[in-house]
Structure 1
Amino acid sequence: MKADVYMTKPRQKILLLTAGKEIASLPEKVQEFAKDMTPHGQWEIDPATPRIGLDQKAALYALQNTGFYTATAEINLEIVENPN
């Protein structure tokens, strides 16, 4: 399934839409989530083909049932001192 991809810079949030769907047609809460995003092309969503950082099975399910999929990414780094 083809999906239009929108992301923030840095890539902290991602929005996938069924190809050709407009952000303006989404629920207000999702439109708010997408307000600082820019288009990032189109991806083929295929659970058989791994894509780092994206649960394609969940994305495909959401796209088929709601027409959109949202996700956030965050990296937490903790520095631990070596007691030796």
Structure 2
Amino acid sequence: KDYLPYAATGFRDFTRIASSHPAVWTDICMANRPALLKLTGDLKEQLSKLEQLLSDGNKTGLYRYFEEAAQMRNDWLKNR
């Protein structure tokens, strides 16, 4: 909640599903439970990696992390 005052305009669009009725997303999540469990596990892994880079003050590693993320996004866009 403390971060909401810093949200930019893209936050509204990115989070519009949060305004949907909770029953809709509950059903969607339950129907896709195995895939969502994998995704949340992968997300935790990435957040741990990012946390470690920040904790270590690893500027080079952090740069590489974001460089790889940019490359993955660019590849995805190119292959769509």
- Normalization by structure 1: what TM-score? 0.24
- Normalization by structure 2: what TM-score? 0.24
Q: Looking at secondary structure, tell me which structure has more helix per residue.
A: 2
Q: Looking at secondary structure, tell me which structure has more strand per residue.
A: 1
RCO greater where, 1 or 2, for CA within 8 Å and sep 6 or more? 1
